[in-house]
Amino acid sequence: MADRAHRRKINSVEIARLAGVARSTVSKVLNGYPHIAVATRDRILRVVRAYGYYPDYSAQVLAGKRTDTLGLFFFCAGHFSEDVLADFMISSVIENAAAFGYHTLAYVVRGPEDGATRGSLKGAFYERRIAAGIFIGARNREPLIDQLVADGHVVGVFDQRPQRRPEPNRVVANFDDMGTSRAVIDYLASLGHRQIGIIHGDRARNAGMMKYRGFLAGMQANGLPIHEKWMKGGDFQSEGGYRAMRALLEADKRLPTAIATVNDNTAFGAMRAIAEFGLRIPEDISIIGIDGHPFCQFSRPSLTTFEYDFHATMRGLISAVIGIVTGKAQKEALRQVYSAHLVERQSCSRITGA
How confident is the model over 20-29, as pLDDT tens digits? 999 888 877 7
Q: What is the DSSP string of 99-111?
A: HTT-EEEEEEE--
3-state secondary structure of 152: coil
In this predicted structure, the answer to whether residue 256 has a pLDDT above a threshold of 90 is: yes
Expressed in angstroms, the distance from the first to the final Cα of the chain is 63
Average pLDDT over residues 203-216: 93
pLDDT given for residue 243 in this prediction: 97
The pLDDT value recorded for residue 78 is 58
Answer yes or no: is pLDDT of 206 > 70. yes
Give the count of beta carbons closer than 10 Å to the beta carbon of residue 306.
Answer: 24
pLDDT digits (tens, 9 = 90+) for 154-198: 999 999 887 788 899 999 999 999 999 999 999 999 999 999 999
Contact 185, 219 (CB under 8 A): yes
Asked whether residue 127 carries a pLDDT value surpassing 60, the answer given is yes
Structure letter (DSSP) for residue 161: P
C-beta of residue 204 within 8 angstroms of C-beta of residue 156: no
Rounded mean pLDDT of the chain? 87
DSSP assignment letter at 303: P
Q: What is the pLDDT of residue 220?
A: 97
**Percent of the chain having pLDDT more than 70?**
88
Q: Is 194 helix (H, G, I), strand (E, B) or coil?
A: coil
Give pLDDT, residue 2.
Answer: 43
**Residue 154: per-residue pLDDT:** 96
Cβ(174)–Cβ(142) below 8 Å = no
Are 293 and 85 within 8 A, CB to CB?
yes
pLDDT-derived band of residue 5, with 50, 70 and 90 as boundaries? very low
pLDDT at 142: 85
**What integer is the mean pLDDT of 52-60?**
60
CA distances from 231 to 16, 195, 227, 251 (A): 59, 12, 7, 11
What percent of the chain is modeled with pLDDT above 90? 59
Q: What's the confidence (pLDDT) of residue 335? A: 94
The predicted pLDDT at position 111 comes to: 66
54 pLDDT above the threshold of 90: no
Confidence of residue 253 (pLDDT cuts 50, 70, 90): confident
Q: What is the pLDDT of residue 4?
A: 46
| 9-18 confidence digits (pLDDT tens) | 578 888 889 9
Q: What is the pLDDT of residue 1?
A: 40
pTM over 0.75: yes
User: Comparing 74-88, 125-139, 140-154, 293-307, which segment has the lowest mean pLDDT?
Assistant: 74-88
pLDDT of residue 126: 81
What structural domains does the chain harbor? Answer: 2-49 (1.10.260.40), 66-175+310-339 (3.40.50.2300), 177-308 (3.40.50.2300)
8 — pLDDT class (breaks 50, 70, 90): very low
Residue 80 has pLDDT above 70, yes or no: no
Buried b (16+ CB within 10 A) or exposed e, 86-103: beebbebbbebbeebebe
- 182 to each of 150, 207, 288, 302, how far by Cα in Å? 35, 13, 12, 22
